[in-house]
Structure 1
Amino acid sequence: MADKDSHVVSTGTGSSEADASPYTEGVTLARPEGWMYKGFRFPGTKGEIWYASPKAQLLMVSFVCFLCPGLYNALSGLGGGGQVDPHIQANASTATYAVFAVVGFFSGSFANKLGIKITLSLGGIGYSLYSASFLSYNHTKNEGFVTFAGAFLGISAGLLWTAQGAIMMAYPLEKSKGRYISSFWVIFNAGGVIGALIVLVQNLNNNTGTVTDGTYSAFIVLMFIGAVLALFLVNADKVIREDGSKVIIMKEPTWQSEFYGLWECIRLSPWVVLLFPMFFASNIFYTYQQNGVNGAHFNLRARSLNSLLYWLAQILGALVYGAALDFSKVRRSVRAKAALVTLFILTFVIWGGGYAFEKDQPPREVVLQPDYEQYKIDYTDRGYLGPAFLYIFYGFYDACWQTSIYWWMGALSNSGRKTANMAGFYKGIQSAGAAVFWALDGHGVSYRVLYGVTFGLCAFSILVAAPVVWLRIKDTTDLEEDLKFSDETIENVAAPGVLNEKRAALETTV
């Protein structure tokens, strides 16, 4: 392979936030021969980009997520998956997240063994089938197929999100992780924006409360394209960073080594369990926001507009938080603590505003009556603006939450293998929380109860995670600590300049 034939040392850690790093931004270092390492520059930019670079790979995985989960979010954001009866989508979502919780917990092992691109492509297939099930339901009322598609999506989503998490957390240099995470979140949520625009345009004059066949058909095709696009990625062992480094992986992974790696991740980093409550809470707010606010109190075209604004707010939240988390004039450990405190304050400000809205709304039993559709808020109504802004802030909050968690996990390790397992833990536990809350919604639990439990869990989980953020996130990640979780050696994974420094230090001591 090209990287084995290279005459230069081209491996490293991604730890170039450290002051001792010899890498200078914009300087082109020697790379292996081959088409995937041929660089080019965009007009007005300093450095080169090449096909097997973190930037190119992140861009590609962002567009896969734009087309698959991004459009799925647009569909879910309508409340009820675009159907009048929300329990159809609630049951499918319960199946999705129940399966996702199991698959996600072990999917890091699959990603490490199968490779990133196969894992990601397999993960994209279920999204297309999920949209197809709603198209089928429009004509056959076959609820069982929708539930099956939801369960199958749980398998697919577990694979896709674990592969995506490993790319986003392990590929970039330490100093760039916030920007990489926010860039991904912007492109990914643009899928929700475009999807919401499609729904809004196609349903401006639709008063039935159910999304049209054309909308579902467009989603099916676009989601399938996303699954195919994933096959054009390269696996982690081919990726070379700007400083000449490579991603730490297992060179010879086996199924036994990868499943054992799950236990090893907990054994070597037991404090990670304190992040589990935040993982659990990280998707539970979608149930209340999408079905208890948007689906319950707005008509179809207002829901479509709200969904568009919600995903736009997510883009803004990712840009703001991503830039703040990479603010180089403040030490990384201080940025981590500031992000935690800010998120805690946002929780009380935004969800406190949510209580002011929720306390005046009619109960679930009233809003789910078919004849209540005519009383739901339209975007032309005088009372639309306040609730719409609340929904926008909910979207902003979600992006801040997700960006923070990914950045904290990325700050704890630069190892591709370890971050894949942490991403698997994250998505598995996240999905368990979502499954519980979609099941509560499917069983008709009061929207007010859903609101209160969601608010309380979010605030509580931040407090539980505080010791990890305060005590474990350092200004740079120790290379030797990451190597404990791999069969790599320092000669195989250190950037050229770092290796030279270590050799010089050894010669000096001798």
Structure 2
Amino acid sequence: MLRMAVIYGVFSASNLVAPSVVAVIGPQFSMFISGLFYSAYIATFIQPFTWTFYTASVFIGIAAAVLWTAQGNCLTINSDENTIGRNSGIFWALLQFSLFFGNLFIYFAWKGKSRISDADRRTVFIALTVISLVGTVLFFLIRKPDSPASLEEDAILEDSTNAEINVPLENKMLKALDAFKKSLKLCITKRMLLLSVSIAYTGLELTFFSGVYGTCIGSVNRFGAQAKSLIGLSGIFIGLGEILGGGLFSLLSKKKQCGRNLIVLLGIVIHALAFYLIFFNIPADAPIASSTGTNNKAYMNPSVTLALFCSFLLGFGDSCFNTQLLSILGVLYSEDSAPAFAVFKFVQSISAAVAFFYSNYLLLQWQLLILVIFGFFGTISFFIVEWQAVALSSQGSAYSSI
């Protein structure tokens, strides 16, 4: 948990300066450099030492902020109002394939093993390091924007390998400072404050499905000897939900009647159902149970099938919120996408860090109650922003500032 606290703490702070980095070196090179830091972080697990472990955690927090900001910027400049929904869905589905294949690999590689040897660990992390490096190199294959106007914009839209290297250092520093100021100003606008409620909810439920729910399943002794292996299966089903959601919403983006509000509404309904079923299926003390697990039961005998079904629902509901947040940010802030996505990850990472903190102390029902409350108000706030944006667009305002 200390490692996660370090990563999310640095990640939160770095999001405010990430747009400046992207402004100076461009989104493509920003993603490449960040990818190298990700690969280095994974490599530390091959032969872990305390000092490399926490040093890499600091750098991965910085790299994550730059990577997410650059990815959001790259997604926006390669999309328009008609394609941003489709591209956001595709992006999210491809991103979540790691949940599915990663957990599937671990499940079969370590199935039936009560102890993971050093050789097993090295094999896994060497393979992951190589895959990460290959993916990092592939960032250079991402196409540049087709629009001539886009190519004439500031350094945020420029690749660091072309004419950007000829821009005087003073101009680059001015662009970096301007990007930082835009991030700060964006944080306090009415529209972003409303969206921050929705974004905060995604951070809370990110912590729940990625760090809490799997632990809860593994702590239920009534699941028998398979309880620990179910953690990996839970991750697989979460990934399936994320991938299906991203792919489905990419297809539905072409249908005008399937707007962002409808998909977000679907997401909160699915999450509410998942929380309700988890409340009845998983013991209340599961999140804070000792290493020996819990022998208690909730309001029914724990069901493995129901637990994994809830994992799928958590992933699918998460894709509803994240794909639509990526879409609406890309439309509303097409001119300032890097600062907008930086604020998005800033708010999300702070709420995730808060959730990691209280997850060690609160019983399951209280954690679910927090999620329900934030989910409800996050949905309402998203609706308000979408309605206002549509109203302004219909009046010819082109999503002007609220």
Residues 316 and 255 (structure 1), Cα distance of their counterparts in 2 relative to 1, 3 Å cut: same
C-alpha contact 1:174 1:476 (8 A) present in aligned 2: no
Could you tell me which of 113, 121, 131 is aligned with 2:24? 113
**Alignment correspondent of 1:83:** none
1:389 aligns with 2:295: no
Select which of 259, 275, 296 maps to 1:351.
Answer: 275
Q: State, as a whole percentage, how many aligned pairs show the same letter.
A: 16
Over residues 409-447 of structure 1, what are the superposed CA-to-partner deviations in whole Å (9 max), with x where a residue is unaligned?
1221432xx011101110111111112222334x54444
Match of 2:199 among 268, 279, 283: 279
What's the offset of the Cα at 1:245? 6.6
Whole-Å separation in 1 of the counterparts to 2:126 and 2:194: 43
- Count, aligned residues: 372
Superposition deviation, residue 392 in structure 1: 0.8
Q: For residues 153 and 471 of structure 1, what CA distance do their matches in structure 2 show?
A: 37
Higher-Rg member (1/2): 1
Contact 1:158 1:424 in 2 (8 A): yes
What does residue 302 of structure 1 align with? 230
Give the secondary structure class of the aligned counterpart of 2:79: coil
- Which residue of the partner structure matches residue 288 of structure 1? 208
**Cα offset, 1:361, TM superposition:** 4.4
Task: Mark the CA change 1:206 to 1:475 in structure 2 (over 3 Å): closer, same or farther.
Answer: farther
Give, in angstroms, the shift of residue 464 of structure 1: 2.8
| Alignment-derived partner of residue 61 in structure 2 | 154
Quick one: which amino acid aligns to residue 388 of structure 2? L
- Structure 2 residue 370 is matched with structure 1 residue 453: yes
Contact 2:3/2:57 (8 A) holds in 1? yes
> What is the RMSD computed on CA atoms of the aligned residues?
3.3
CA distance in 1, matches of 2:190, 2:285: 45
In the alignment, residue 244 of structure 2 is paired with which amino acid?
Answer: L
Report 1:411-426 matches (<5 A): 411-415=331-335, 418-426=336-344
- More helix per residue: 1 or 2? 2
Q: TM-score, normalised by structure 1?
A: 0.65
* Residue matched to 2:243: 315
Please state if 1:180 is matched with 2:87: yes
Deviation at 1:99? 0.9
- The alpha carbon displacement at 1:132 in A equals 3.0
**Larger deviation: 314-323 or 444-453?**
444-453
Once the two structures are superposed, residues 261-306 of structure 1 have per-residue CA deviations (whole angstroms, 9 ceiling, x without a partner) of 4444636964222111222222222322233221232334322222
Deviation at 1:166, TM superposition (A): 1.0
Tell me: CA distance 1:483–1:355, structure 2 relative to 1, closer, same or farther (3 Å).
closer
2:21·2:30 contact (CA, 8 Å) conserved in 1?
Answer: yes
Which residue does the alignment assign to 1:427? 345
CA 1:230 to 1:304, structure 2 compared with 1: closer, same or farther past 3 Å? same
The 2-side partners of 1:300 and 1:429 are apart by 32
Structure 2 vs 1, CA of residues 207 and 100 (structure 1 numbering), >3 Å: closer, same or farther?
same
Q: Which amino acid aligns with 2:273?
A: V
Q: How does 1:197-276 map to 2 (within 5 A)?
A: 197-208=104-115, 212-233=121-142, 238-240=144-146, 246=150, 249-250=153-154, 254-264=172-182, 266=185, 270-276=190-196
CA distance in 1, matches of 2:265, 2:127: 42
Runs of 5+ consecutive residues of structure 1 not aligned to the other structure: 1-89, 485-510
SS in 2 for 1:462: helix
Distance apart, 1:155 and its partner CA: 0.5
CA contact (8 A) 2:7 2:58 kept: yes
Question: Gaps (5+ residues) in structure 2?
Answer: 156-166, 219-226
Deviations 1:355-398 (A, max 9, x none): 2234x3444453x32x449x89xxxx993111110111101111
Aligned residue number for residue 263 of structure 2: 339
Q: CA deviation at 1:174?
A: 1.7
Change (3 A) 1:312 1:364: closer
